[in-house]
């Protein structure tokens, strides 16, 4: 019996370079690399990592703006088997520090614009050696990325990952509390790329526009789906709606994955005309629910397949296919191939179609677990009658009689604003440090631009001098990351809690969502 090989991403990148050598692989700004050139660059990066003594199970933190170097680092890390921890540039310095430390990173890669904030943290990053700070356009005490890459050999070495070595650690939010890093192995990342890439209709002729920060799992998907298929990735250094339209025209882009707010900005821009996007074949909306009206409008305006994706970075994904957009507009579709979902009640019993409960699921690409958090990993699981583990999503939903999923509410308190995760507890922790604040709750309320936006509800100490809501809002926003800032603040005489002292946030949210829930969530 002949045993079939089981190639990983590192092998597939090299095979694409062999058989698609002259075809374009990566375009950023005015620079384009063929598959052969991209292969040579990433071999150098892989060897530079190995020359540092790094290999499988070692982790590097990445604090870089969208750039060619970012993609090169990703490809080189894949080949060397080095795990990457991509960090959100917009979170606070404290959150960056906590994530670097939590990841166990032994090197930091940064853009020129991020060097100063890392320099301020150096004394608290004990695991990073002096030569472990590498940057594009390096300043004092930094190693220049290009020089670091180019002094390494270009030939592939017989070093690489095993299937179960960590591929990445992704932090779903920059938090001020203890962070949870989501770990995926090389095997599961490849299975994810196969299963979801097929569902999103990627192919070797794909020219994928990437308008979302490369730290995001959204962009990780765009990148890996395209590289797996042997297509071309076009990276936008910064999203702007007119630049998006022009990039689609210039490069004849065929695929894109982005958040609903970006779609809204593109389709409402004065320069938008459907003919300018006629090269597009697939447009995927992800990150937060797209309003049914916008979804229907896009589907009716462009010839591209519009696919809505609902899912967790941890590894459960459904898609609403373009064939169903007009008849199931408020749904987020069905599980992608290789994935299954159920709806359960609070007692862990499976619910029939039509009843609302927590969504649980399993897939071939579910996360390996939360980095260094076995108790959190265990808490994320539901075990069925056969002893099989399913991942809890923390989201409430229902299935209709045809098996289409509808998101009804969120069991967790996380707020999805413009495709970014915001954790109310982080904001509440900052608010509670103000001497006037007795108690507080932060909830997500509807916002026509962002989908959801944070609202702070505050009880003030009666013995203290009153403060204006605007002044308190300004005070807390100055102490938060850019994406965590609250849109409004209201004072309350009381905040509802259950007998165990837990805030009843559903009661607080309900008046704000009452008028939109039926149309927004289906």
What is the Cα–Cα distance from 202 to 43, expressed in whole angstroms? Answer: 25
Percent of the chain with pLDDT over 70: 95
283-410 CATH, one of 2.30.38.10, 2.60.130.10, 3.20.20.150, 1.10.3720.10: 2.30.38.10
Least Cα distance to 43 among 184, 167, 160 occurs for: 160
pLDDT tens per residue across span 306-322: 999 999 999 999 999 99
Q: What is the DSSP letter of 372?
A: T
Residues in the chain: 522
Q: For the whole model, what pTM was predicted? A: 0.81
Q: Domain-by-domain residue ranges, the chain? A: 9-184, 283-410, 415-521
Provide the pLDDT for residue 462. Answer: 76
Which residues of the chain have a pLDDT value below 70?
173-178, 409-412, 463-465, 497-502, 515-522
Q: What are phi and psi of 279, to 5 degrees?
A: -75, -15
Residues 202, 207, 211, 216, CA torsion sign: positive
Written as six digits, the tokens of 301 are 């305006």
Q: Helix, strand, or coil here: 229?
A: helix
pLDDT number for residue 439 = 83
Query: Which runs of consecutive H residues, i.e. helices, occur in 238-351?
Result: 241-251, 260-267, 292-301
pLDDT value at residue 189 = 97
CA angle 75, 483, 406 (to 5 degrees): 85
Burial class (CB in 10 A: 0-12, 13-18, 19+), 232: buried
Beta strands in 190-321 (DSSP E): 207-210, 232-235, 255-258, 282-285, 305-312, 316-320
The C-alpha atoms of residue 318 and residue 328 are separated, in whole angstroms, by 14
Q: What per-residue confidence (pLDDT) applies to 485?
A: 92
**Domain 415-521 fold:** GMP Synthetase; Chain A, domain 3 (3.30.300)
Residue 427 contacts residue 458 (beta carbons within 8 Å)? no
Query: How far apart, in whole angstroms, are the C-alpha atoms of residue 133 and residue 138?
Result: 9
How far, in Å, CA of 60 to CA of 78, rounded? 12
CB distance 237 to 29 below 8 Å: yes
The pLDDT value recorded for residue 245 is 98
* 9-184, CATH topology level: Rossmann fold (3.40.50)
pLDDT of 177-208, one tens digit each? 567 999 999 999 999 999 999 999 999 999 99
């Amino acid at each position: 019996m002949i045993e079939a090989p089981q190639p990983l991403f590192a092998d597939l990148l090299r095979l694409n370079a062999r058989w698609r050598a002259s075809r374009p692989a990566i375009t950023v700004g005015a620079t384009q690399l063929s598959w052969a050139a991209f292969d040579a660059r990433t071999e150098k990066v892989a060897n530079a990592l190995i020359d540092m003594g790094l290999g499988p199970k070692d982790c590097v933190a990445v604090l870089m703006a969208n750039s060619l170097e970012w993609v090169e680092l990703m490809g080189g890390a894949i080949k060397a088997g080095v795990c990457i921890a991509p960090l959100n540039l917009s979170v606070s310095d404290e959150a960056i520090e906590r994530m670097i430390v939590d990841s166990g990173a032994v090197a930091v890669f940064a853009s020129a614009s991020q060097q100063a904030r890392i320099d301020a943290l150096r004394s608290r990053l004990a695991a990073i050696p002096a030569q472990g700070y590498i940057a594009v356009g390096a300043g004092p005490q930094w190693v220049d990325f290009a020089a670091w890459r180019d002094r390494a050999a270009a030939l592939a070495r017989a070093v690489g990952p095993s299937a179960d070595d960590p591929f990445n650690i992704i932090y779903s939010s920059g938090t001020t509390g203890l962070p949870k890093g989501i770990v995926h192995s090389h095997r599961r990342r490849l299975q994810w790329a196969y299963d979801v890439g097929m569902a999103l209709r990627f192919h070797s002729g794909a020219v994928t526009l990437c308008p979302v920060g490369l730290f995001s799992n959204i962009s990780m998907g765009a990148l890996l789906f395209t590289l797996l298929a042997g297509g071309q990735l076009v990276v936008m250094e910064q999203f702007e709606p007119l630049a998006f339209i022009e990039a689609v025209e210039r490069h004849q882009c065929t695929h894109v994955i982005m958040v609903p707010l970006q779609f809204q900005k593109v389709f409402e821009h004065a320069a938008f005309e459907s003919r300018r996007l006629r090269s597009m074949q697939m447009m995927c909306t992800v990150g937060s629910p797209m309003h049914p009206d916008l979804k229907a409008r896009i589907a009716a305006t462009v010839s591209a397949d519009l696919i809505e994706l609902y899912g967790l970075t941890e590894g459960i994904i459904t898609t609403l296919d373009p064939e169903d957009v007009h008849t199931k507009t408020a749904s987020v579709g069905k599980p992608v191939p290789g994935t299954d979902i159920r709806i359960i009640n609070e007692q862990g019993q499976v619910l029939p179609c039509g009843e609302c409960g927590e969504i649980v699921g399993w897939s071939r690409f579910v996360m390996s677990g939360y980095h260094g958090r076995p108790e959190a990993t265990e808490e994320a699981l539901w075990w069925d009658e056969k002893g099989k583990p399913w991942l809890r999503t923390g989201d409430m939903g229902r299935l209709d009689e045809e098996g289409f999923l509808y998101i009804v509410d969120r069991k967790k308190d996380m707020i999805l604003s413009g495709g970014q995760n915001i954790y109310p507890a982080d904001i509440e922790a900052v608010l509670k440090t103000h001497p006037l604040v007795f108690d507080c709750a932060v909830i997500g309320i509807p916002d026509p631009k962002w989908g959801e936006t944070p609202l702070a509800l505050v009880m003030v100490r009666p013995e203290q001098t009153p403060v204006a809501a605007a002044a308190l809002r300004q005070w807390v926003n100055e102490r938060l990351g850019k994406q965590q800032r609250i849109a409004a603040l209201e004072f309350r005489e009381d905040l509802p809690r259950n007998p165990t002292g837990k805030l009843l946030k559903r009661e607080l949210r309900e008046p704000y969502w009452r008028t939109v829930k039926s149309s927004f969530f289906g």
